[in-house]
Amino acid sequence: MFLTYLRRELRRRRKAALLVASGLALGIALVIVVNSVSSGMQQAQGKVLESLYGLGTDMTVTKAAPPASEGGRAGPRFKFDAQDGDETQSSDIVMPQGFQTLASSTVDEVAGQSGVSDAVGGLSLSVLKVDGEFKPGEFKPKEGGASGGGGGGGGPQGEVRGGGAAFDVNSYTVYGTDTARQDLGPLTSSKITDGRTFRATETDARVAVADSAYAKEKKYEVGTEVTVKGTKFEIVGIATADSGDAAANLYVPLKQAQTLSDSEDKVTTVYVQADDSQRIDAVKSAIQKNIPGTTVTTSADLADTVSGSLSTASGLAANVGKWLSLAVLIAAFVVAGLLTMSAVGRRVQEFGTLKALGWKSGRVTRQVVGEAMVNGLVGGVLGIAVGVAGAYALTAVSPSLTAELGAMGGGPGGGGGGLRTGGGPGGQAADKAVEIALSAPVSTATIALAVGLAVTGGLIAGAFGGWRASRLRPADALRRVE
């Protein structure tokens, strides 16, 4: 009886039912789109951090930057031998990025902290290559100048003209990798696309892996020899970053990197993996407490420094979008409730007659709530369809977003040197932003949220209408009989 009457009344008032369902569908569709875009922003931000941090890395440990009162860091110094005549000079300056290093024993200290699953050290280096030549000036005697007695030195009188120096300065990055433990750190965010990666036994071998973009620029191939500070390395593999820029231009065994930079038993960064991703903050606190003089940076800390259009869009999705969808959803619920009340008001004669025939107020209320629930479910189905279609359309037409990881003291390898995407773990500045394709994935949780909102909307509308219907009396129907 209940279902038969329900179906008949909905069919008879289908225009009003569709109006209520459409209002709910609009609010639900907007919620789906906003949640999907927000989820896409989080995925995009994760890709940015992944390209920098390395797969499986939960946090990094670096040396804390010295107080400003202790003076700044010493910059690079170039020394050339004085030569007579035209002389070509070349020098490689290899230095730890950020100018701050930790003892290699720090890796074991970090690994021994409660909640740490694994820890691996790495040494991030900047290489400045200076090539050029000095050209001495030419002595030009003064016309008519007398020899001897000039200046008390007995030498000819005149002046030196011309001469000078012309140098080209190129820079690139080298990352010292623990070849025996390559499952953690920046190299894990790249895939070997040619050749091979390091062998576990190549802890001190003169081999290198080159980033694909850098290899293309320098025309390096597998088997090519590259010289760093007079040491020749054979390129055994070409690696392509999964997203964004690679952590470094070249990767070499950790011991070789320490030798190149005169940083024996030193690292710039300790990459840490936690036992439980839910306890990252606790592990961070433990490391900072038990290992003084270090700075611990988590992916959440780095996420706060992401800027560019990705950050702008993420902020809009998180703030304006959510508040807008909430406002529209509340408005849809209120309108659905008011429309249901209005519909009940137009059915006074019908409900009064049913009560005169013996229907209890509870049965009338259940009838109204049942109709409102069906309207809510129909609105939910429509809202899910529109929302999913909108999310996929947004994915298809949305442009790429840019992201830059701004300067952040104490970032991986930075030691206060500042870290940006494309700069790798050592803190050098990037000369280009990371481009990320925006997507709007619709998850099962989002669909479940939409169903819950549809049911909630039906209950709210039914509550409005049921309250109105429960107050009707049989006498109300008799007053309206013409």
pLDDT of residue 395: 80
pLDDT of residue 358: 76
Sorting pLDDT into bands at 50, 70 and 90, what band is 432? Answer: very low
pLDDT of residue 411: 40
pLDDT of residue 82: 53
Between 424 and 315, the more confident residue is: 315
- Whole-angstrom Cα distance, residue 383 to residue 167? 66
- Whole-angstrom Cα distance, residue 301 to residue 427? 15
Task: Count CB atoms within 10 A of the CB of residue 454.
Answer: 26
Is residue 140 pLDDT above 70, yes or no? no
Each residue of 184-240: pLDDT tens digit?
877 887 889 999 999 999 999 999 999 999 999 999 999 999 999 889 999 999 999
Give this prediction's pTM. 0.56
Facing residues of 233 across strands? 226
Least-confidence region, from 57-71, 301-315, 382-396: 301-315
pLDDT of residue 425: 38
**SS3 of 181-231:** CCCCCHHHHEEEEEECCCCCCCCCCCEEEEEHHHHHHHCCCCCCEEEECCE
Percent of the chain scoring above 90 in pLDDT? 19
pLDDT of residue 460: 78
Amino acid identity at 7:
R
* For residues 462-479, average pLDDT: 66
Domain boundaries, the chain: 2-53+309-479, 88-133+165-292
Least-confidence region, from 37-46, 255-264, 305-314: 305-314
pLDDT of residue 471: 67
Does residue 406 contact residue 420 with C-beta atoms inside 8 Å? yes
Percent of the chain scoring above 70 in pLDDT? 61
pLDDT of residue 367: 75
Least-confidence region, from 25-34, 237-246, 273-282: 237-246
